[in-house]
Structure 1
């Protein structure tokens, strides 16, 4: 079971640093090669030297000990490990220099009541309201029938990651499933950040680890990605292939995001209109 609380965040920080250290070769870090190594990547001592910090201090950081970390030191560690911008932000958040939203400051009933009309007006473009943990809390008719009939899924299972990694039919709707899987897990890590220590985050991660070997393997890689505007290919059970551009926007002061899927080509636009016609009667029933 995933640990919760500050200790879990420190453990996550240590695991992340270790994963970044092990992927970096001495040559990439500008260090001379010293022959065969028993473990991949850099040694802790080498990272400490490159960052200009004490070896014991850096070791404690990877071990998840409760030590104080300044922004200046974090910047030096990030530079030593050659972290990109997304990984650097992830490091700062895990170390307590930034805390992500992992829940809502507004109760879901109030939020959905306010935003449901907006979602409905976006038809025939699929749109939904999600938490940072990929729970779907509101959606319009186009989204309801995009993968399957969402209302046939129990509310507690209406989570994009859970459905993707545990339901072969949902996963099969993505024509580039392996790529989507890697990006989804990396985005989930980046968005959850230090919130991995919260009970809600721990619960979803535990569920996915237990139910999906693929998720467990990808989660262990500690990859992080920012929110991206990307086009995905879906195989609709009603109208066939769709090329949809996914655009997500944070709803201020709520911790939720609205995701809208717009057609990337004329054919997709026509098929979305056709899907709206096919589901109009079904939605009323």
Structure 2
């Protein structure tokens, strides 16, 4: 698109979005003498904290200097969706600043709990990226075996790493459906984190099973789930997958996943797992 065409598109886009936004939606009264269907230019300028003349020139498609900060305020004033905001920045010829995801630090007491827990336990961030795990979880999941840009992601590996599929037998799709459903809830709670869209796009393109589940629009709470599993060294067993959200300033949004044996036979499998892991940790 040429510079001239970009300005024409920008003009049409801003006018359309301004007309589509009811004043009540941004806390402004409609009044009796409003001639425009949506917001007035002066209202958008005030909401975005920019000059009326400058905004008028922008909406008219004139060649003016535009900063990313001012454009971001206009996007908020017009209540643009993430895709609309990206389009606005593209029309203006600016790189859209991506918000840096907050770095989550797993608190030391949680790390200590993982170390002492006699069963698989691990911590995931809101994207379901792996933050921490104990040796029993590594025994089952073999976390370091995966490579690539999504190597630490629990959802990606459930669909794309064949040994994980074996672990979730004999009911892989049931377990996968629950995983996708709670991941969708986390995605909705973090609309400004671009990592979610990148992961979903990659999974939709590479996994027909994920794409099908994603299209179903199912949601599920972050609550305990009875989960049948299979490991060649242990056989079939069943766990309560217990999910514990962390409420800490450094780790808000992270969740501890703990596996608890669901019956006596599964408890015996846990005992064998602990014995094997502990024996492997002893010095030769």
TM interval, short-chain normalised? 0.5 to 0.7
TM-score (norm 2): 0.59
Mapped contact 1:209–1:215 kept (Cα < 8 A): yes
In 2: Cα distance, 1:158 partner to 1:262 partner: 23
Match of residue 197 from structure 2: 202
- Cα deviation 1:142-188 (Å, max 9, x = unaligned): 111113x2222348412221111112221121121111122211111
In 2: Cα distance, 1:66 partner to 1:217 partner: 34
RMSD between superposed Cα atoms in Å = 3.2
Match of residue 126 from structure 1: 120
Mapped contact 2:106–2:131 kept (Cα < 8 A): no
**Is 1:152 paired with 2:145?**
yes
Q: CA, structure 1 residues 220+196, in 2 after alignment: closer, same or farther (shift >3 Å)? A: farther
Higher gyration radius (CA): 2
**Is 1:221 paired with 2:216?**
yes
Match of residue 158 from structure 2: 164
TM-score (norm 1): 0.59
Q: Gapped runs of 5+ residues in structure 1? A: 1-59, 71-94, 96-102
In 1: Cα distance, 2:115 partner to 2:217 partner: 37
Number of aligned positions between the proteins = 192
- Cα deviation 1:227-269 (Å, max 9, x = unaligned): 2311110001321111100111111142101111100011111
Q: Gapped runs of 5+ residues in structure 2? A: 1-15, 27-80, 82-99
In 1: Cα distance, 2:270 partner to 2:229 partner: 12
Mapped contact 2:101–2:193 kept (Cα < 8 A): no
In 1: Cα distance, 2:183 partner to 2:280 partner: 33
| Secondary structure at the counterpart of residue 270 of structure 1 | helix
Shift of 1:120: 1.0
Residue in structure 1 matching 2:275, options 249, 274, 277: 277
Runs of 4+ in 1 over 3 A off after TM superposition: 65-70, 281-285
Mapped contact 1:112–1:137 kept (Cα < 8 A): no
Q: CA, structure 1 residues 194+119, in 2 after alignment: closer, same or farther (shift >3 Å)? A: closer
Mapped contact 1:112–1:138 kept (Cα < 8 A): no
Shift of 1:194: 4.4
